[in-house]
């Protein structure tokens, strides 16, 4: 009978909050510049054949392309970090808050990849109710309600955090929501007033996506810095079996 080996194999991974934030920031800047260049090709009606391919690959407002998958991965990374914090905080009074946060970011990651929120874009509702252009994308209406409920529920949770973590969480939230929700509403006005295929509407889209990605970078840095204050190292065990 074959005897199972019980010794462990070490595979150390070092996460530096500043280094990761710096590299992600560079990635965000590169994606934003590539998206802006693709937007120029779009405004120019694709001056050469490869320009359309480049635009579709780096369209900041597109789906199933590099910026969309990057955003999805970064949100999933946030969810993973929140899951680790949740595992550490099992006996903490705010355990359920951390758990809910990691589930929220997991859903946001899926939404970024597959755009579930677009189900709530209903042009007939916008037209029948004669909604203001800020509600051009009708999904922002339930999103505003949910954000209000979330802010009310998480106020005590936010106040109990260490000063630095609370400060970074607030900045990340303002930047991310300012892009995902605030600039989405501004873009709706720009689209109605100036049209979809215009420079000013393109600038609105670029600003929206840049703020979203920047907000997540700040949040990742905040989570890593907070996690480092809880544990210097974390052991991850993986068990492998045939059955």
Residue 104 Rama label (left phi>0; alpha psi -120 to 50; beta):
alpha
Query: What is the structure's pLDDT at 223?
Result: 97
pLDDT of residue 190 exceeding 50, the answer is: yes
Asked if 174 contacts 30 with a C-beta cutoff of 8 angstroms, the reply is: no
pLDDT of residue 131 exceeding 90, the answer is: no
C-alpha torsion angle, residues 49, 54, 55, 60 (rounded to 10):
180
C-alpha torsion angle, residues 88, 94, 100, 103 (rounded to 10):
-10
**pLDDT average, residue stretch 189-214:** 93
Query: What is the structure's pLDDT at 170?
Result: 97
pLDDT of residue 9 exceeding 80, the answer is: no
Task: Tell me the two tokens of residue 164.
Answer: 């630095």
Confidence of residue 1 (pLDDT cuts 50, 70, 90): very low
Per-residue burial over 2-16, b = 16 or more CB atoms within 10 Å of its CB, e = otherwise: eeeeeeeeeeeeeee
CB hemisphere CA count around 91 (13 angstroms):
0
Instruction: Give the tens place of pLDDT for each residue, 14-59.
Output: 888 999 999 999 999 999 999 999 999 999 999 998 999 999 999 9
Instruction: Give the tens place of pLDDT for each residue, 95-130.
Output: 999 999 999 999 999 999 888 877 777 777 777 877
- Backbone torsions φ then ψ of 108, nearest 5 degrees: -60, -35
């Amino acid at each position: 009978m074959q005897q199972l080996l019980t010794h462990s194999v070490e595979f150390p991974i070092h996460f530096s909050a500043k280094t990761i934030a710096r590299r992600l920031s560079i990635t965000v800047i590169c994606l934003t510049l590539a998206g802006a260049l693709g937007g120029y090709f779009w405004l120019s009606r694709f001056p050469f054949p490869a320009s359309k391919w480049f635009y579709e690959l780096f369209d900041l407002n597109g789906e199933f392309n590099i910026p969309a998958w990057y955003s999805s991965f970064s949100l999933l990374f946030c969810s993973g970090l929140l899951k680790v914090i949740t595992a550490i905080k099992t006996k903490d009074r705010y355990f359920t808050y951390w758990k809910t946060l990691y589930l929220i970011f997991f859903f946001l990651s899926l939404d970024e990849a597959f755009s579930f929120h677009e189900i709530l874009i209903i042009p007939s509702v916008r037209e029948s109710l004669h909604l203001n252009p800020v509600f051009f994308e009708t999904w922002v209406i339930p999103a505003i309600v949910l954000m209000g409920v979330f802010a009310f529920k998480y106020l005590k949770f936010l106040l109990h955090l260490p000063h630095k973590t609370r400060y970074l969480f607030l900045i990340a939230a303002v930047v991310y929501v300012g892009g995902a929700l605030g600039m989405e509403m501004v873009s709706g006005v720009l689209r109605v007033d100036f049209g979809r295929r215009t420079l000013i509407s393109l600038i609105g889209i670029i600003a929206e996506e840049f703020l979203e990605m920047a907000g997540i970078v700040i949040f990742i840095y905040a989570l890593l810095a907070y996690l480092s204050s809880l544990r210097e190292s974390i052991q991850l065990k993986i068990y492998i079996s045939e059955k």
